[in-house]
Amino acid sequence: MIRKELLVLPILANHVILTGYGHWLPNDPRGSGSETVRKEALRELGEVHHGRKREQPSRGTLRQFFREAEPLLEHPVLWFDERCRTAIGAGIETVVRGQRLTMYACAVCANHAHFLVRRHRLTGDAMGRMIAGTVQAFLKAEGLVAERHPVWTTDPWVVFKHDVRAVWEAVGYVERNPVKEGLAPQRWGFVTPYDGWPGKRAMRT
């Protein structure tokens, strides 16, 4: 009899997404990483769909959802201006240097942040939580966010990258994010360019 062993693909990198307060709620029409809605008032806006929905809502549906949700939040929706983005970068760098992470790409946008990190003794979720907490402390120390105001909407969203092609695609995706929002391309001193699969760098564009 032939035994069929369970194939477990190694994780090469973690794509971690953090979303600013008020921008991705537990029952977001796009789906979310949450399983419950803790705030009673928000439950009337819809059911929770754990994970990203296969069919995404229209922009109109999404705008309507947030128009109804914003007055129900305990704090104002948080947007990151240039000063905030600089402080967020400083917070990320502190964790990268302190934990000796290898970060292949980073993007800090107006309402969310992406980073792609090589596999580490810390899990992707643990890295995301550590960065989220450090960034929050930096923003509040600089007086950019009120002391009682949450910085992030939900826990970090982590997507595992199991092969070199997926890592290159994620690098390109992260690097394009600020430009898609109309921001200047971002270059961070704590980012280490990915060097896997020589000759395939064109996949970043």
Residue boundaries of the structural domains of the chain: 1-23+77-205, 24-76
| pTM exceeds 0.85, yes or no | no
pLDDT digits (tens, 9 = 90+) for 55-111: 887 888 878 877 877 777 888 989 999 999 999 999 999 999 999 999 999 999 999
Give the integer Cα–Cα distance in Å for 117 and 5. 29
pLDDT digits (tens, 9 = 90+) for 135-188: 999 999 999 999 999 999 878 889 999 999 999 999 999 999 999 999 999 999
Give me the CATH code for the 1-23+77-205 domain, please.
3.30.70.1290
- 157-161/112-118 β-pairing: unpaired
Can you list the positions of beta strands (E) in the chain? 13-19, 103-108, 112-118, 157-161
Give the integer Cα–Cα distance in Å for 118 and 154. 23
